[in-house]
Amino acid sequence: MRLALYGGSFNPPHLGHRAAALTVMEKLRPDRLLVVPDHLPPHKDLPEDSPSAQDRFCLCELTFAGIPGLEVSDLELKREGASYTADTVERLREKHPDDELCLVLGTDMLLCFDQWYRFRYLLEQCMLAVLCRADGELEQIEEKAAQLGRDYGARVQILPHEPIEISSGELRELLPRRQGRDMLTPAAYEEIIRRRWYGAQPELSWLREMAYAMLKPKRIAHVAGCENEAVALAMRWGEDPELAAEAAILHDITKRLPAEEQLRLCDQLNLSLEDTERESPEVLHAITGAALAVKCFGVCDAVRDAIRWHCTGRPDMSLLEKIVWLADFTEPTRDFPGVDEVRALAQEDLDLALQTALGMTLRFIEEKGAKPCGITADALRYYEQTDRR
C-alpha cells in the first residue's frame, strides 16, 4: 500500500493546502494521504495568537473534508516537544512496515532537505513527492533531486502543480482586515470567525448572508436600513463604523422566533430574565440575539451589548449602544409621527434624541395598554437629567 504524508503547521489551513492535497491524490495516487498538523514546529515559532494544536487539527478536518482517501492524523499532537518529521515517519514505519511511504514536499522544502533532522533516515524510508510549479521551478527541482540521488540515494517523484498563491502568514494578516474568506473553505472560515482566531473580523458581506438567512424576508429591508443608518451615525459621532455595522446586521437574528421558542432558547443559553422581560415577548429577541451573536459569530462585548439593549435601552448607554438603538428607531423604512424629529436630533444631540425616542416608545406602549420594561423607564429618567448630556 502506498501511504503519503503531508505535514505542516497549517496555521491556518487554506485552499492552497487543499489544492496541494488534491494534486497529490491525482498525480501520486496514494491509497491513503495523511495530513499531519504538527504540535510544535521545530524550525519556527508560532505567532502568539495562534490556535492550539488541537484547534488547528479541527481546522484541518474542516478544510480537507470530502477528499476520498485523505485522513487528518493526530500523530504529532500526541507527542510532546518539537514535531520532527523523522519521528513521525518512524512511528508510521512501526505501524506499516511493508507500506511504501511518500513524503510530500514543496520546492522550498526540497531545496533545504539535506539540512533536515535525520534526513538520511527519511530518504531511506520515504520517496519524496515534490509539488512543482510550471513557472520555471522544474530545472531547479531536477538538479536538487539529482544531487540528493547521487549523494544519498534519494527517490524523488515530481508532481506538476498549479498552486493557489497564498500563504498562511499572508492569510493571518488579511483576516483582521475583514479579508481572506476566499482563501478558506466555508466551514473553516465560519469556525475562525466564531472563535475569532488570528484576530479575525468577519467580512461584512458574509455576515449579511449569514444573518439574512436567519430573518423573515420582509425584515431584511429593515435590517439593511438599520445598518446604513448605524454606519452613518457612527461616522458622525466618532464610533467604529464596522462595529456599528456588525451590531446592526445581527440585531434581529432571532426576531422570527415566537415567544415560546425565545424562552426555550433563553433556557438553553442559560440566560436569566427579569419578570418584566418574560412578560414582554417583543424584547426577548434582543436578549437571545445578543447571546447567539456571541455563540455563532464571536462578537465582542461592545457589539453584544449594542444588540442586547437595542429594544429597551438602559441608563448610561455606551456610544455604540446609543447609535444602534437610534438606528433601529430611525432607519429609512420607519414611518410614524415624530420619527423625522428624532432623525434630525440624532445628528445634533444623541442624548436628546434618545430622550425623545424613549418617551415616544413609552407612550406608544402605554397607549396599547401594555406594560413596558422597567429599564426603559429608567433609561428615560436618566436622559431627562440635563447634566447627563
Kindly state whether residue 193 falls inside one of the protein's structural domains.
no
- Interhelix angle for 284-297 vs 204-212, to 10°? 130
Determine the pLDDT at residue 389.
Answer: 46
Q: Give yes or no: residues 207 and 116 share one domain.
A: no
49: domain CATH number is 3.40.50.620
Kindly state whether residue 303 falls inside one of the protein's structural domains.
yes
Q: Could you read off the pLDDT of 39-56 as tens digits, one per residue?
A: 776 666 677 778 998 999
pLDDT above 80 (res 76): yes
Kindly state whether residue 290 falls inside one of the protein's structural domains.
yes
Joined grid coordinates for residue 167 = 500563504
Determine the pLDDT at residue 228.
Answer: 98
3-state helix, strand, coil in the chain (%, to 5): 55, 10, 35
Q: Which domain holds residue 151?
A: 2-183
Q: Which of 306, 321, 18, 324 is nearest to 186 (CA)?
A: 18
Q: How far apart are CA 232 and CA 162, in angstroms?
A: 44
Q: Could you read off the pLDDT of 134-171 as tens digits, one per residue?
A: 666 888 899 999 999 999 999 999 999 988 889 999 99
Residue 275 identity (one-letter amino acid): D
Q: Give yes or no: residues 56 and 176 share one domain.
A: yes
Q: Give yes or no: residues 262 and 378 share one domain.
A: yes
Q: Could you read off the pLDDT of 167-189 as tens digits, one per residue?
A: 999 999 999 999 999 999 999 99
352: domain CATH number is 1.10.3210.10
pTM exceeding the 0.85 threshold for the entire prediction = yes
Q: Give yes or no: residues 12 and 95 share one domain.
A: yes
Q: Give yes or no: residues 223 and 94 share one domain.
A: no
Kindly state whether residue 282 falls inside one of the protein's structural domains.
yes
Residue 67 identity (one-letter amino acid): I
Count: domains in the chain: 2
Residue 252 identity (one-letter amino acid): D
Strand order in the sheet with 70-72: 70-72, 32-37, 2-8, 100-105, 126-132, 156-160
Q: Give yes or no: residues 173 and 40 share one domain.
A: yes
Kindly state whether residue 297 falls inside one of the protein's structural domains.
yes
Q: Of 155, 183, 211, at which residue does a domain stop?
A: 183
Kindly state whether residue 191 falls inside one of the protein's structural domains.
no
Q: Give yes or no: residues 294 and 159 share one domain.
A: no
Q: Give yes or no: residues 162 and 228 share one domain.
A: no
| Lowest-pLDDT choice from 153-162, 268-277, 308-317, 376-385 | 268-277
Most confident stretch, 36-40, 298-302, 382-386:
298-302
Q: Give yes or no: residues 172 and 208 share one domain.
A: no
Kindly state whether residue 288 falls inside one of the protein's structural domains.
yes
Kindly state whether residue 196 falls inside one of the protein's structural domains.
no
Q: Give yes or no: residues 342 and 261 share one domain.
A: yes
Q: Give yes or no: residues 169 and 254 share one domain.
A: no
Q: Give yes or no: residues 358 and 248 share one domain.
A: yes
Q: What is the mean pLDDT of the chain?
A: 92
Higher pLDDT pick, 336 / 41 = 336
